[in-house]
Amino acid sequence: MTRDTEDAPLYDRFGWQSSLGDFSRSEPRVVRIQLQKFVTDASPEQIRAWDQSIPWLQRECRELEVRDVGAREYTAILEYELPRDSRRPDVVVLERGCVAVLELKGALHASQAAIDQAMGYARDLRAYHAACAGRSVTPALLVRGGGATPIERDGVYVVGPEGLDALLDELSADGQPIIGPEEFLALDAYAPLPTIVQAARELFQRRELPMIKRARAAPTLRCSTSRRSHARRRARARAIWCC
């Protein structure tokens, strides 16, 4: 299953969505083509990154299924575009009571910028996504030199590709139901705060901007009055001195 979903209408701004089992057994080239269809301006470097990362990502998913047969019912969403935004986490995995947000980097070590990027995705999902309310939303940064054992840095798990299956297994909340794609991709599930431009437009439509204008104009009026008073005092002092 790719970008088409069985139950409409659902949010469809993503490159790939399927069960973890279907993703892990799909032809890597097929997955990459679907991502290219969605990210139409993908650079050659991005396409190479997909070609390199998809096979090992599928391998880790298959190893996760060996650990936990039920994991094949998890959902994998690649290049999920945050609504009202152009940012896209590389991979979102919907597990038992948990949303794992994965950022894949080809670098050897984790940079602070990459850690902040992964944390930003998770933070926004926690704050604005209804399917994440009351559930664990865990960011993970995958780098070539991360190693098999995850290390937490500033709230983000840093791990190598070979450690992803164990990390996803650890994050799953036993006894909790698996988060379904219908819930996560509901059209009204993500409700971020409006941007400054959107907020200004809404204020203007409600005609509240004149109040702001008047409030800002008051200090200017007082300042102008003060300057005129000061000028009059200087003029009087100059006249006295001349006399």
What average pLDDT does the structure give for the chain? 85
pLDDT tens per residue, range 187-238 = 999 987 666 556 666 666 665 444 333 333 444 434 444 555 555 555 554 4
pLDDT tens per residue, range 105-124 = 999 999 999 999 999 999 99
pLDDT number for residue 209: 45
pLDDT tens per residue, range 7-40 = 558 999 999 999 999 999 999 999 999 999 999 9
pLDDT number for residue 214: 36
Q: What is the torsional sign of CA 106, 135, 1, 83?
A: negative
pLDDT number for residue 84: 84
pLDDT number for residue 12: 95
Q: Is the pLDDT of residue 4 over 60?
A: no
* Per-residue tokens: 128: 């604005």
Which of the pair, 7 or 171, is modelled with greater confidence? 171
Q: Is the pLDDT of residue 54 over 70?
A: yes
Tokens 């470097």 found at:
45
- pTM, whole model, 2 decimals? 0.78
- What is the percent of the chain where pLDDT is above 70? 76
Distances (CA, A) of 113 to 50, 141, 147, 150, 221: 21, 11, 20, 18, 46
- What is the percent of the chain where pLDDT is above 90? 73
pLDDT number for residue 191: 86
Contact call for residues 140 and 157 (beta carbons, < 8 A): yes
